[in-house]
Amino acid sequence: MTVVAPAPLADLVFERSDELSSAAHEQVVFCHDAETGLRAIIAIHDSRLGPALGGTRFYPYASEADALTDVLRLSQGMTHKAAAAGIALGGGKAVIIGDPRRLKTDDLLRAYGRFVDSLGGRYYTAADVGTTAADLDVVATATRYVTGSTGGTGDSGFSTAYGVFCSIRAAAEHRWGPDGLTGRRVGVEGVGKVGAQLVSLLVEAGARVVVTDTSGDSLARLLERHPTTTVRHSVIDAPIDVYAPCALGSTLHPSSVDAIRAEIVCGAANNQLSTSAVGALLHRRGITWVPDFVANAGGLIQVSGEVHERSADEVTAAISAIADTVREVLVRSDATGRPPGRVAAEIVADRLTAARTGDVA
């Protein structure tokens, strides 16, 4: 059981943290278990508001450096997500390097759980891309610092989708008035466990939905449930009103922004902007971007209910309240002329500063 970073990667921790934020990550743990083949990285970005919480992503990264970059960005995003949602939790994330279809075993998951446990509650894990509630059941045999297992609140996919839906609806009402989503064309990019449930909510709300996904199986399952849904090779450049990125991040970059025909961008994907400057590009084009760390906080709110022992009704109300935050961000953006991402970042910074000075619980 090894918790040592290879020297080149140890140097990258500080370089990448500085690129992402003026404040470096608090702790980055490199985990290796030779017997099971486990290679994982756990990153704790900020714990001023409470213990760090974030999912475990099991993904075949091209290199350990790519995995490190992803976990640093994702953990910082969790800090922003918790602060924007008003949750007393910090930001953390973990990645397991490799193809889950080949490498995932109960022994590997238990080994990973022992690493989580070694942090003594500084980090709580949950499901993410490549991991499920059933996987967390196995992890939970080695540590109690697990949320979202089948013995708890379960998979958080619907909660994430519902929070994104509330955000899209709030942005639509802000932009187009009380009719909101009725008859609007929404392009959903990625119809996995979050995107597919978002499609269901959108269809129920009267939206016309266009989808894309790299997985033919995911598309087939979706079309069985919603046969009127239109499938396209790409939705980011489609003639739609709302673009909802719900796969992996960084789909919004200077060249893709030029191709967007939607008036609203709001989805479940993390780290949607390739750089913060892209938010200003969207704003200059008159496109309303709902910051990802605001819109996709529903899953975090659900699993935080386990940590703080909140009732199901309290959790649902907190997820619904994401819409209030979206409205606050967009109204302040209109009033000040600043991009929504900058406004949301200011809200986060204020809450973290208050935590540092002891002005919040």
Q: Residue 270 is encoded by which pair of tokens?
A: 């993390």
The set of catalytic residues is 93
Give the 3-state secondary structure of residue 123: strand
Q: What burial letters (b/e) apply to 243-260, b meaning 16+ CB within 10 Å?
A: bbbbbbbbbbeeebbeeb
* Diameter of the chain measured on Cα atoms: 59
Q: Are 218 and 193 in contact (CB under 8 A)?
A: no
Query: Which amino acid type is present at position 265?
Result: V
Give 62's DSSP letter: S
Q: Are 300 and 277 in contact (CB under 8 A)?
A: no
Q: Residue 89 is encoded by which pair of tokens?
A: 């939790």
Angle at 44 between CA 39 and CA 49, to 5 degrees: 155
Taking CA atoms, 307 is separated from 144, 147, 218, in Å, by 11, 8, 32
